[in-house]
Structure 1
Amino acid sequence: MKLRILLVFMLLLLISFDATAQCAMCRAVLETEDGQSAAKGINDGIVYLMAFPYLLMAGVGYFIWKSRRKRHSEE
């Protein structure tokens, strides 16, 4: 049951949503630009940078889980 909950949680993390992730100052400066191409680039960059801490923590968690499972099977 725990594995199923973990899998559902991981799938929810992998689903991509259209998010606007700008601070108030960035938004005010970028809204004045025509075309909004820089604003879209800034949003993509913020979301890209936000993903890496989650990936790193997932990797660390996986290796801890793997080592504990291996140790448990040896005992």
Structure 2
Amino acid sequence: MFFILTVLALLLPCSELLAQCSLCTKTAQQLGEGPAKGLNNGILMLAFTPLALMAFLGYRWWRSQKAQ
């Protein structure tokens, strides 16, 4: 739990992350500044769920291996 909170605390201030593929970057450039930030935030939010799930499953696996 501490690890997850630490990772979140480190990643939350990084709202300027470039999470766009080349196609999304071209689309965002055509939309303008405001919608581009919204698109980038949406991509980051969609990426967070599978990454958080993999981290949770990895932690559970590590904890079960440690117990054996």
Of residues 49, 54, 67 in structure 2, which corresponds to 1:52?
Answer: 49
**How many residues in Structure 1 have an aligned counterpart in Structure 2?**
61
Alpha-carbon shift at residue 56 of structure 1 (Å): 1.1
Query: Which protein is bigger by CA-based radius of gyration?
Result: 1
**TM-score w.r.t. length of structure 1:** 0.57
2:38 matches 1:41: yes
Structure 2 residue runs without a partner (length 5+): none
Structure 1 residue runs without a partner (length 5+): 1-6
Q: In structure 2, what is the equivalent of residue 26 of structure 1?
A: 24
Calculate the aligned-residue CA RMSD, in Å. Answer: 2.3
**TM-score w.r.t. length of structure 2:** 0.61
